[in-house]
Structure 1
Amino acid sequence: MPHVTLRLASGRSDADKQRLADALAEAVTAAIGSPPESISVAIEDVAMGDWPGFYRSEIAAHPELLFKPPGYTL
């Protein structure tokens, strides 16, 4: 039962988030064969002013979890 949690810089519309969630679910199905009805996607907004702290605590602090690291540092 894959569950994808995505944290995203604030500012996208609900329609954009829905398209993104649908695309992520399709990618999970294509990559690992999970049936669409078993996939859930949550999207959490992060204010740009909070991104440096988020980056340090959630990205830089856990490199072992990154299968696709960002191409930037803060």
Structure 2
Amino acid sequence: MLDDDLAYVSPWGADPARVTAPVVVLHGGDDRIAPPAHGEWLARHCPDSELWLREGEGHISVLGSAAQALARLLPWS
């Protein structure tokens, strides 16, 4: 949990620009823990990414869209 908290304010040790796989950034528009700007930043910095900003969703509630996100990344499933 401490590492998660530190990830908000310090370098990760990995460059998102080097991610070569497709990425779906699934983020709640009403997330009060990690603001939507964090998801927007990550989507901008991953070369093959798609931002799914879910209005009205919070930090954990976006997990309800996880199956659709996985289906987008794994269309054969």
TM over 0.5, shorter chain: no
Q: Greater CA radius of gyration, 1 or 2?
A: 1
Compute the TM-score of the two structures, normalised by the length of structure 2. 0.31
- 1 or 2 for the larger relative contact order (CA 8 Å, sep ≥6)? 1
Task: Output the TM-score relative to the length of structure 1.
Answer: 0.31
